[in-house]
Chains A and B, each alone.
Chain A
Amino acid sequence: MIKLDKNEKVLLEVRKHWFILFSETFFLVFLLILPILVVIGVKIINVPQFIKLTGDSSFLYIAIIAIWLLFIWIIFFVIWTKYYLDILILTNKRIIDIEQKGLFSREVSTLSLGKIQDITTEIHGILATLLDFGDVYIQTAGESRNFIAKGVPRPAIIKRKIRNAYNDVMRQ
């Protein structure tokens, strides 16, 4: 859990655009219909049945399909967890960048708003332009590492909000 300081307020939470989650999980749709394709393929090719299962084999097929769906279900939630925990939080004092690279790989970086030097946004591609998502680069003063928020929705608005928060800090 992220612990905020006293008088620290969250101004903005940014996750990747929904299209990024959609594109990362799209292959699951193919996996979902794969058993149907296999059944259709077997019927079209008319594979001779060398092995016949005794008993009502339809129950076994149901079990196999349920296991297959269970794997897809778990994979989806692993991808969603990675998406959900990968977040950039803007508070009135700092920026917290949490990069969830995998289930067992996580990076948390914090940057004081006063250290921001420059913010750049980049939008590349037709879909990114139409759906309004792109990258936000936050350059910092000194040896601090730069922050990059990739595939975030409405980068221009995020830039404006960070800039406003920065101005508020500098005024105080």
Chain B
Amino acid sequence: MSNTTIAISIATTLAVGASACADDPVYIQPLSALEVNAGDDDTGLAMDTIQLPIRQLDDGQCDGDLTASRCKETADDVDERQALADKYGLTFDDIPFVRFEDMDVSIEWTIKNLEDVDGTARVDVNGANEWFQYVPDVLVIDPDDDEEEPPPALIHGIPLMIPAGATVSGVVREGSVREGSIDIELITRGTADEVCTACGNPVAAVLQINEDTTAFPSDIGEINQEIFAGMVQFDLVFSADRHMVLEYAIRVRDHRGLLHDELSAAPPEELIVFTPAVYMPVVTDPMP
């Protein structure tokens, strides 16, 4: 056997191993669990926010000025983003840094009922892409209607019966998170009829199934799935009518290597902090 054959054999084996690692999921753990109804004055509602620990990609072109928009990207990333802008006839800043196809995210959770009577619990998820945050409580469509309920959560759960003393596990699947990413895009940048901002229902997208959406019209032109923004922030809302604890983990398959190796334990200065704006619709023609 020649040395070349040996080298090829070893290299192939290592390449297979390395490629198997490329898309392996990583788990982002929150700092603590969410607990509700621990005391008499508890509202039965708890919330937690996690922003994905995306690393700074500065390769020196920013000269230390990390406030510059391009400083989170390598030169190759900038080139790729510019190429996408050219391809779709948009500006550089219309192309998100974290795109829809960059990561697949799911949220695994476990609820434990700490009481000796059955209870009901619910897990909802809101969140944000790098530009906009979806906060249903601020989306009041008709301010004159005191009884109006806020729109549903971006990824709305269903009430779950948790038996006394039992533990129940579940998952917000990748498909649901993908749908959430699409919905934020449709709501914030879309001008399609199904979003219907103009008719006074800017959150209609949340109530529809849009997982097969591959493009949508916007004020700046058609937005293709290739340049949909991906969610970078997750706001978990846990509600229950008994003393319960929610533990969760965010599972990410990072196809582009955006996450910091040390995840949430990374030094803050090595992470990108996104500051998405809370989305407030401009309703031009409220529904009758």
Question: Are A and B physically bound partners?
Answer: no
Spell out A's residues near B (CB within 8 Å): none
Spell out B's residues near A (CB within 8 Å): none
